[in-house]
Amino acid sequence: MKKPVFVKPTFYYTVIKDHDDEKSKLFCRNSVLLPQSLGLTFNVHNGTQFLKVFVSENIIGHKLGEFSASRRRYFFKKGKLKPKTRR
């Protein structure tokens, strides 16, 4: 048995019905993208800033949070290489 699709009611009524690119700032990362949102652009919050997400056919059915990474990648710093000494 599969869970039903979750869409926050304010997301559906305010953003899809009366869509404006400048006002479409979303904090609900757990809402699923519906076919009615095809071709729209949303600003999804990742914790520090808003990232633009354009809705195409490939991403319908996925959640908004999948397209705005909330964590930075960690890279190990490379230290100075010590020259090899002969004994």
* Strand blocks (E) in the chain: 25-26, 41-45, 50-54
How much is the pLDDT for 70? 82
Rounded to an integer, what distance in angstroms lies between the CA atom of residue 87 and that of residue 78?
A: 26
Segment 44-71, tens digit of pLDDT: 888 899 989 898 999 998 988 888 888 8
- The helix (H) or strand (E) run that includes residue 10 is helix 9-10
User: For residue range 9-48, what is the model confidence (pLDDT) as tens digits?
Assistant: 877 776 666 766 666 788 888 888 888 888 888 888 888 9
Residue 40 lies in a domain: yes
How much is the pTM? 0.69
Instruction: Identify whether 78 is part of a domain.
Output: no
Rounded to the nearest angstrom, the gap between the alpha carbon of residue 72 and the centroid of all alpha carbons in its chain is 13
Confidence of residue 73 (pLDDT cuts 50, 70, 90): confident
CATH number, domain containing residue 40: 3.30.860.10
What's the domain count of the chain? Answer: 1
pLDDT recorded at residue 21: 66
Show the domain range for 26: 9-67
Residue 84 located in a structural domain: no
